[in-house]
Structure formats: structure tokens, C-alpha cells
Amino acid sequence: MYFANPWGLLGLISLPIIAAIHLFQRRFPPLLVAGAHLWGAESRVQTAGRRRDRLPITATLLLELLAGLIFSLALAQPRFGQLDSVSHLVVVLDDSASMSAGPSRDSSLRSAAIARLTERVEQMERDTRVTLVRSGLQPTLLGARAMTWDEAKVALTDWRPHATQHDFQPAWDEAAHIVGTDGRYLFLTDHIPQDTTVLPRGMDVISVGKRLPNLAISTARWTFDSEAGEGQLFLRITNSSGDAVRASLNVLSGEQAILQQTFDVSANGSLPLEVNVPGGLGKLTVTISSPTDGLEIDNTVTLIEPKVRMLTVAVALHEDSVALRLMKRALQSVSDVQLGAAEDADLIIGPAGVLPELTPDQWWFGIGPINESADIRKQAKDLIGPYLIEKQHPLMDGIVLGGVVWGGVQPTDLNLRPLISAGRIPLLGQLAGVTSTAYLMNIDLARSNIGESPDWPILMTNLFELCRDDLPGLRRWNYRQNEVIRFRTDSTMDKAEDRRELQLLVPSGEQRELIRDRNDLVEITRLDETGVYEVRDGEQVVGEFAVNFFDDEESASLASLAPGERQARVTTGTSQLSIDDPYSWLMALAILLLIGAILTDWYVLRPRGFSRS
């Protein structure tokens, strides 16, 4: 046993003081006598001074001693355990979506984990403090650090496991940092890794897993054909159990039923579905249900109807040139692209030797020859490789240049960041030092066979899609959980004197501020909630998009969950948390006031002589 406030033991000084008062105090009340001046001198009796009598054992004495003892012990705060510390339980909570699985919400794995945690805390001291660390891509605290158990129970009501599969190591490291290198902490999960050597030495593991069947929407995609004016919905339903499952599918647009279907999914199999849907629906909610399904989060998908992002292209190539013929063929194979004037175009394609005046929002793609002089074109080189391709650039996605003759290459002093080069000669590069995005192709298509190779349509498609992605507004409208979203805002609407901050409204109702850089680019991360998000500029809705749970591994993991325990490999006890008491001096002052009150009481009740009247 120890005392959290040892200064409180000074209150025991009051016990001998109380006894002394009762030992020396005469208990006769003052006697008032009328006409004492008429009494003779012989009638005056000299009373003896104070003398020590035997201590009277009275109820008053015992009660006062008991009160002093109780008050002193209360001030001292007796405790059992290590001095100046309380037990500190640090718990890592597996926030994977599988922890919310179960036959019902009341009997989910989450509920079982909370029950096991309650048992652990009840076996510890009453004043045990609890810290809850929730795993995820970025570990976070659930509630505050070092909470009382009552506070921790309130925080656990907000725990809703919903994360996709992730690495637990960051959460383990966070817990180890809290308890120290020699402390122990607890990990609550639904499965124990087969390779237990990866588990930290100081971590106890409790698994509340239970094998459950699961039916999931593993893929959901909504495309829209602007020419036909209708969309196509593609779904894949996956069964992660060893038995065939009969399931129901419902596709709703608001209250309108678009599709209702019942089907069978084979054991450990999947079923693809394709549905044509009319345009203008705006939003679809897809739900599957099965009597034996164990996980709810992967049964519902919300999809936003894709918007048409029309790309305007201006072609300024020479008439009857090979480049113009190849460009027309490339344009015919790409959807949602229209021809327009140069001043209204998003992308201008023209001769490499003439760079037009561009706005910051416009793209330019120049096709050689750079110098159209007959003599210089005659001196140009034809190359057959090898070619160095900058594979990290998205424009080069899928480009291989196998068997391609790169003809008409001319020397150039332009400031190019090469994407395709042969030795030190840039063949295709991005112009540096310009405010817009500009690419130059150092080639003479009349002397090259690239137009007949698969690389030409791939290159043009990449160019059109990259330029389309740079248009203002959302690039897509349906994303996976924790996918990063990037888009550009409309710079013409962002006046310097009226530039408002963008806000992101999450499905739970919380608002987050979005930051756009000087190029009006916005990046959205930490999309860990499923549902529909809105991007707002003041009261105006810039766009909305949906985030859904798609994780085949997490959905299939329910078939391999199992209970178990593993003790930590360290021999130290539970973690201790130091407690600083800021009230010690106030308690000492209270003790002094108590002693002063006792002495004052003695002074008031001390015996006095006769009073004359």
C-alpha cells in the first residue's frame, strides 16, 4: 500500500492534540456571581492551576479521534500498487471491415472484442487507464490518451470497423511508442498471423475471429455512351463460402426500381452481370442480399452517373499531309472529342515549327518536321532504335516502339524534357519554360512507319485522355475507399479578390477544407468513409462523387477467421502511467487550517475564573 498524497498523513498530528485538549481542559462552565465584592477576603478561594487528570474516555473523544483519523487518511489517498503510478492498458483495435462481420449486429466480432477487453480491464486495478489505438493506413487514437474505463466505454461506442486490408505495423509501432520499449500492450483482432515471428515482443494478441460465409459486390462500374445516350452497368458478385448461395439483386434510382433479380452463385465462385440503363438517372444504389451473408459493408454500392467531358481539339496541320491523314484516323477512334477553333480548343495539334500563342489552360502537340526547309529535311536522319522511353510518364503508357523507324529527325536547340530519345537526340519531349503544356514530336511522318504501328493510336489516345483529365472538374465520379482523387478547378472563376476555399462534405456530415495550389489543382485523400461526397465552393456544389468498399481480399478473409490468443514474449508486467497530483499543497493548507481550527476551539473552551457583575 502507498499514499498518493503523503502530505495528508500530517493530519495525524491532530490526534494527540485532540487527546491533549481532553486531558487538560476543565469542563466547568464559567459561574457568574452577583455582588462578589461583598464577599470577604476569607471567602476567596485560590483555585489551583491546570493539572493533568486521567484522560476521560468519552464518546465525544472517540468520535473526534475517529474523525481526525478518517480525514487524515482521506487526504493521504491510500493506494495499492507502485508509487505515483496507475496501470495503463494500451489496446490496438483491428479496424478492418471484417471486424464488423457477424451473424447479426449485436453478435458481431466487434462486440466480442469489446467483451474481451472488458474482461481484461475488470481483472486489473479499478483506476486503470486505457488508451485505444485504431489501426488503418494512418493509425489514430479512439478517444483521448490514458482515459478512465468509463471514458473508454463511451469512446468504443463510436468504433465502427470499416477499413480495407492494411498493414498493422504502424499501429503496433504507435502502441509501442506509448508503453515504451519494455511495456506490454494488447492487440484485438479477428485472426492471428500464421507467421508469429512478425508480431512485436511486447504485444498480447486476442483473436475473436469466427469463420463466416460472405457474399460481396467485388466490382461495380457504370459507363455512359454519349452518342447512344444510355449507360451500361457492370457488376461482379463473389461468393466466399464453400456452399452455393442464392442471392437477390436490387438496383434502385431513388425510389424507382431499375432491376430486381434472383440468382445463384456457385461455391467460391463469382458471377458477372451487365445491365443497360437509361441516361439521366443521376445516381444508382446496388444492393445484394443473402440469408447467410456475414458482412454488410460489401453488399451495397452507390454509383454516380458519369458526366460527359467533351474534349475540343483544333487541328492546324497542312492539308494533304501524312500527319493530317493519320490524325484524322486517330480522332475517329476516340469518343467524346469534337473539332473546334483554336481559340476555343483544349488541345491544338499543329506543325512543330510554329508554337502558337496559348492560354495557360490550353495544350499543344507539335508534329515535325521542325524545320520544313527542303535542304534541312534532306539532311535529317532516319533512326531504327534503340529508343529510350520515359516509362514513368503517363503519355508513354503502353508505348514500346518495336520495329518502328523514326524518320526525319533534325537537330534542335529547343529546351525539351525528353520522353523518347535516341542517344542524346530528343525524339519526343515536353517543352520547358512555357506556361502551358506543350509537347513536340521531332519526326517526319512521311519517312516513318509509326503511323502504321500500334504505338500511334496508343500515343494519341494517351494524349487525348491526359488533356481531358486536365479539364476543370472531377475526372471520375466513382472511387474505391482510400483512393486519391485529383482534379483541377476552373481558373476563370477564381478571381484574386474573390477566391474562396473549397469544402468537402463527407457522408457523415463533417466538412473538410480543401487546398488548391497555384495551378488550381486539388488533391483529396483519407476517403475512409463509404457514401457520397460533395465538393462545394461556398454554397455552390462543384461536383459529387461516390466512394465504395471494394476489397476482394478483405471480403474473402471471413472464410479463414479463427479465435485464438498469444502471449507477449516479454516478462514485464503491465504498463504503468505516472500520475502527478496538483493538489498536494492545497491538501497541506487544509491540514494547517484543521489544526488551527482545533487550537481555536481549545482557546475558546479553556477554563476561566469567576466574573464579577
C-alpha cell at 348: 491544338
In which band, very low, low, confident or very high, does the pLDDT at 519 lie, cut at 50, 70 and 90? confident
C-alpha cell at 336: 467524346
pLDDT at 20: 79
CA nearest to 116, candidates 212, 211, 205, 210: 205
C-alpha cell at 510: 463533417
Separation CA 110–CA 210 (nearest Å):
11
CB 9, CB 72: distance < 8 Å = yes
DSSP symbol at 55: P
Separation CA 547–CA 530 (nearest Å):
5
pLDDT at 58: 73
Least confident of 94-98, 101-105, 444-448, 603-607: 603-607
Least confident of 59-68, 175-184, 544-553: 59-68
Mean pLDDT, the chain, integer: 86
Separation CA 163–CA 554 (nearest Å):
9
pLDDT at 348: 97
CB 135, CB 163: distance < 8 Å = yes
CA nearest to 396, candidates 419, 418, 416, 417: 419
Helices 14-24 + 584-605 axis angle, to 10: 0
Separation CA 13–CA 438 (nearest Å):
89
Give yes or no on whether 85-210+561-578 and 311-469 have one common fold.
yes
What is the four-CA torsion angle of 567, 571, 574, 575, rounded to 10 degrees? -120
Separation CA 62–CA 160 (nearest Å):
57
Give the mean pLDDT of 405-422. 94
pLDDT at 72: 79
Separation CA 607–CA 587 (nearest Å):
33
Separation CA 287–CA 260 (nearest Å):
10
Q: Which of the pair, 115 or 579, is modelled with greater confidence?
A: 115
For residue 43, pLDDT beyond 90: no
For residue 31, pLDDT beyond 80: no
Q: Tell whether domain 85-210+561-578 is in CATH 3.40.50.410.
A: yes
For residue 389, count CB atoms less than 10 angstroms from its CB and return exposed for 0-12, middle for 13-18, buried for 19 or more.
Answer: middle
44's CB contacts (< 8 A; 6+ apart) are none
For residue 572, pLDDT beyond 80: no
For residue 473, pLDDT beyond 70: yes
* Residue range 308-327, pLDDT digits in tens: 999 999 999 999 899 999 99
Separation CA 359–CA 372 (nearest Å):
26
Separation CA 432–CA 157 (nearest Å):
55
C-alpha cell at 354: 510554329
pLDDT at 613: 46
C-alpha cell at 1: 500500500
| 122 residue type, one letter | E
Could you tell me what percent of the chain has a pLDDT over 70?
83
For residue 415, pLDDT beyond 50: yes
CB 445, CB 456: distance < 8 Å = no
Helices 14-24 + 59-76 axis angle, to 10: 160
DSSP sequence for 250-296: EEEETTEEEEEEEEEE-TT-EEEEEEEEETT--EEEEEEE-TT---S
For residue 126, pLDDT beyond 70: yes
Strand 85-93 vs strand 129-134: parallel, antiparallel, or unpaired? parallel
Question: Which residue carries 534503340 as its cell?
Answer: 386
Collapse the DSSP code of 405 into the 3-class scheme (helix H, G, I; strand E, B; otherwise coil) and give the result. coil
Written out in words, the top-level CATH class of the domain with range 311-469 is alpha beta
- Spatial strand order of the sheet with 256-265 comes to 256-265, 245-253, 283-289, 300-304
Least confident of 217-226, 455-464, 497-506, 531-540: 497-506
Could you tell me what percent of the chain has a pLDDT over 90?
62
pLDDT at 610: 47
CB 67, CB 17: distance < 8 Å = no
Number of H helices, E strands in the chain: 10, 35
pLDDT at 12: 84
pLDDT at 262: 95
Cis peptide before 386 (omega within 30 of 0): yes
CB 409, CB 382: distance < 8 Å = yes
Strand 2-3 vs strand 502-505: parallel, antiparallel, or unpaired? unpaired
Sign of the C-alpha dihedral computed for residues 179, 184, 187 and 191 taken in this order = positive
In which band, very low, low, confident or very high, does the pLDDT at 227 lie, cut at 50, 70 and 90? confident
Give the mean pLDDT of 184-203. 89
* CB atoms inside a 10 Å sphere around CB 213: 20
- Residues composing the chain: 613
DSSP sequence for 499-536: -PPEEEE-TTS-EEEE-B-TT-EEEE----S-EEEEEE
End-to-end CA distance of the chain: 60
CB 168, CB 185: distance < 8 Å = no
| 296 residue type, one letter | E
In which band, very low, low, confident or very high, does the pLDDT at 605 lie, cut at 50, 70 and 90? low
Helices (H), 89-207: 109-122, 149-156, 169-179
Give the mean pLDDT of 293-322. 94
Separation CA 123–CA 426 (nearest Å):
72
Q: Tell whether domain 478-488+499-548 is in CATH 3.50.50.
A: no
pLDDT at 496: 46
For residue 489, pLDDT beyond 90: no
CB 605, CB 24: distance < 8 Å = no
* Chain centre to alpha carbon of residue 116: 25
Q: Which of the pair, 21 or 81, is modelled with greater confidence?
A: 21
C-alpha cell at 40: 470577604
**Three-class HEC string of 348-401:** EEEECCCCCCCCCCCEEEEECCCCCCHHHHHHCEEECCCCEECCCCHHHCCCCC
CB 354, CB 318: distance < 8 Å = no
In which band, very low, low, confident or very high, does the pLDDT at 583 lie, cut at 50, 70 and 90? very low
C-alpha cell at 536: 462545394
